[in-house]
Each structure stands twice: as structure tokens, then as C-alpha cells.
């Protein structure tokens, strides 16, 4: 991550920064934003955070999460010296904050992108994209080291640990390397309460999330070959049970965990004629490529897409594409 020297220099020069994250922010997005922002504040800089959608309830424990603004009302008093966008592969992933991003750029504000998606587009003035990183949290970890901000505070370490543990699937994914564990060891030494974070993230779920699982499992379907499984939630079911988008996080993994399944898909209606699709694979299928057919992307084993259309139509065409991808892969 040699190019982080340039990132460190640009961050050092800025005095007023706005840190932005993607729609439906996850642990890597929020953890990385909060860690970087708190470290910059410790250097006397003015920092604000903003995301397009509310902070999920299971991430509200993160130090600084209560200060994260939702939507384009961030940084009302004057313009920042530098925009820093984290864990966001395309400007469209900024959602309704893309207008704010574009407006500040037109006013002359410089922008920096820090990301790790293989599909990332270099849409900022300074682009630091590391597809080999398991999480943006790893990149921020090294960036803070470059800026001589070690030793880390327990709060910053907690944010970075959350970023890494969530985006590696509790260190299960192929992107998890020995270097990942070495960084995490340093975070634990800095004061991370591993058990408490594990409880918050993985063992304490809102009732609505369990209800969402119950309703999704009612729709569980399998391809005739048994290699593809999919589930969905429509708007009516979600509204009737108080299920929000954040309550669907991780549901796709229940389909992936089924023995014999290589590709798992989960669909939920965001609004009329707009469907969010989660793609997961187990061993060999590149779901980043599959999601890319529908304007989405992410990682080789985990990706997503927002697809316009009626739920039943989106399910039909994505399942068909998934089956074709499986047949092509297995034919190689």
C-alpha cells in the first residue's frame, strides 16, 4: 500500500473534511469512516460524517455513530477542504448524497476515494483502490500507521475491528490473509473487546430480523440441479411485519449454507419496481461478474445489485442468469 503516502499527505493538508459512505451502510463502511474521522479529529481537524441511509441498529454501538448525519444535509456551514469517500465503488452508490458530492466538486472541493472493490471506478481526484484488501478497514489501518497515529485508541480500534470482522465474514472469506490476522491482533492489543463486539454484531438481533428470516424461508426455492437457492421478500410482507432493509442483512447466507448449494440469491423490494439483490457463492462462482450483468458488483464471493422491475420479473431473469453462469462454470 505504498501509495498511501500520498493519501496521508493530502489528509494532512486538509483542515475541514467530510467523510461519506454508501447506501445501506455496513460495518466496513461505518467502521472505516468513524475510525478515520476520529483519528483526524485527534489531529485537530474538523470532521463530519454522512451516509445516505440511517445507521443500522446493530452498528449503533460504534463510537461516534450517533454523530453520523443521514442524507445531504451534512456540512451545512461552509464547504470542506476535502471530501473522503470510503467503501463506495461508484458515485451512484452515494445515493441521494451524490448531488451533494457533485455540488461540492463544482465549488472546487477536492475528493479522495478509499475502496477495495474489484469493480471500483476511480471517480475522485485521488483514488486509492486496493482490491487485495479484505476490507477498507485494513486500508485505513495502514493509512493511520502511515500518518503516525499509532498507538490507536480503543475507540478507533473498535471501529476498525468491526470493519474487518464484518467484511471478512468473521474471517471466513478467501480475502482473509495472515496479514489480516496480524492487523487484528494489533487492534485487540489496542483495547478491542472482542466478545462484546461479537455479541452486538452476531448474537443480538432485532426481533424483526428473525421474523424476516421466517418469512424469507417460506419462499425458499432450489434449482433442479440443487446448486442454486433463492429467497425473496415483497413490500407487503415487509410492511406487515415491520421489516426494514437493515433487517434483511445476512439472510442470503442461510441459502448459501445449504449443503450442495454453490450460488445463493436473496431479493427484496426496496420500493415499487426496484429490487435489491444479494449474490453469494461458496467455492468457485464469480458473483461479482454475475451481479455486473445487472449493473451491480462487489467481490468474487459476495456482490449486490439494485435492479429496476417487478419483483417476480427480476427474480426470474436473475435466477436464469445464475443457472447459466453455473452451467458455464461447471462446463469449464
| Positions of the chain with pLDDT under 50 | none
- Of the three residues 177, 202, 227, the one that is the final residue of a domain is 202
Domain count, the chain: 2
User: How much is the pTM?
Assistant: 0.90
Whether residue 89 is found in the same domain as residue 171: yes
What pLDDT score does 220 carry? 99
Domain of residue 183, CATH code: 3.90.1640.10
Domain of 110 in residue numbering reads as: 4-202
243 burial level (CB within 10 Å; 0-12, 13-18, 19+): buried
Grid cell in block for residue 17: 473534511
On whether both 14 and 157 belong to a single domain, the answer is yes
211 and 152 in a common domain: no
| Beta bridge mates, 19 | 49, 84
pLDDT attached to residue 73: 72
Same domain membership, residue 242 and residue 192: no
Same domain, 186 and 92: yes
User: Are residues 298 and 235 in contact, defined by beta-carbon separation less than 8 angstroms?
Assistant: no
The confidence score (pLDDT) of residue 174 equals 87
What pLDDT was estimated at residue 162?
A: 99
CATH code of the domain in which 321 resides: 3.10.310.30
Per-residue pLDDT of 80-110, as tens digits, reads 999 999 999 999 999 999 999 999 999 999 9
87 and 230 housed in the same domain: no
Amino acid at each position: 500500500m505504498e501509495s498511501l503516502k500520498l493519501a496521508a499527505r493530502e489528509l494532512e493538508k486538509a483542515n475541514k473534511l467530510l467523510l461519506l459512505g454508501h447506501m445501506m451502510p455496513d460495518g466496513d463502511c461505518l467502521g472505516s469512516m468513524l475510525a478515520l474521522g476520529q483519528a483526524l479529529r485527534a489531529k485537530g481537524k474538523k470532521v463530519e460524517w454522512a451516509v445516505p441511509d440511517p445507521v443500522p441498529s446493530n452498528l449503533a454501538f460504534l463510537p461516534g455513530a450517533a454523530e453520523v448525519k443521514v442524507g445531504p444535509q451534512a456540512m451545512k456551514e461552509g464547504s470542506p477542504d476535502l471530501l473522503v469517500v470510503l467503501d463506495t465503488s461508484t458515485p451512484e452508490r452515494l445515493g441521494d448524497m451524490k448531488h451533494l458530492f457533485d455540488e461540492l466538486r463544482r465549488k472546487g472541493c477536492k475528493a479522495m476515494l478509499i475502496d477495495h472493490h474489484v469493480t471500483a471506478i476511480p471517480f475522485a481526484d485521488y483514488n486509492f483502490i486496493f482490491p487485495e484488501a479484505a476490507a477498507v478497514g485494513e486500508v485505513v489501518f495502514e493509512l493511520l500507521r502511515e500518518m503516525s497515529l499509532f498507538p490507536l485508541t480503543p475507540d478507533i480500534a473498535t471501529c476498525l475491528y468491526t470493519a474487518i470482522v464484518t467484511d471478512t465474514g468473521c474471517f471466513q472469506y478467501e480475502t482473509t490473509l495472515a496479514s489480516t490476522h496480524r492487523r487484528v491482533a494489533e487492534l485487540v492489543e489496542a483495547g478491542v473487546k472482542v466478545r462484546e463486539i461479537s455479541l452486538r454484531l452476531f448474537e443480538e438481533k432485532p426481533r424483526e430480523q428473525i421474523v424476516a428470516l421466517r418469512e424469507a424461508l417460506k419462499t425458499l426455492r432450489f434449482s433442479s440441479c440443487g446448486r442454486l437457492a433463492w429467497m425473496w421478500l415483497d413490500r407487503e410482507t415487509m410492511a406487515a411485519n415491520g421489516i426494514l432493509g437493515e433487517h434483511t442483512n445476512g439472510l442470503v447466507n442461510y441459502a448459501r449454507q445449504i449443503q450442495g448449494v454453490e450460488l445463493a440469491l436473496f431479493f427484496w423490494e426496496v420500493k415499487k419496481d426496484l429490487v435489491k439483490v444479494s449474490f453469494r457463492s461458496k467455492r468457485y462462482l464469480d458473483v461479482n461478474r454475475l451481479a455486473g450483468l445487472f449493473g451491480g458488483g462487489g467481490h468474487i464471493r459476495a456482490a449486490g445489485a439494485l435492479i429496476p422491475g417487478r419483483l417476480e420479473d427480476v427474480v426470474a431473469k436473475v435466477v436464469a442468469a445464475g443457472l447459466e453462469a453455473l452451467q458455464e462454470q461447471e462446463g469449464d
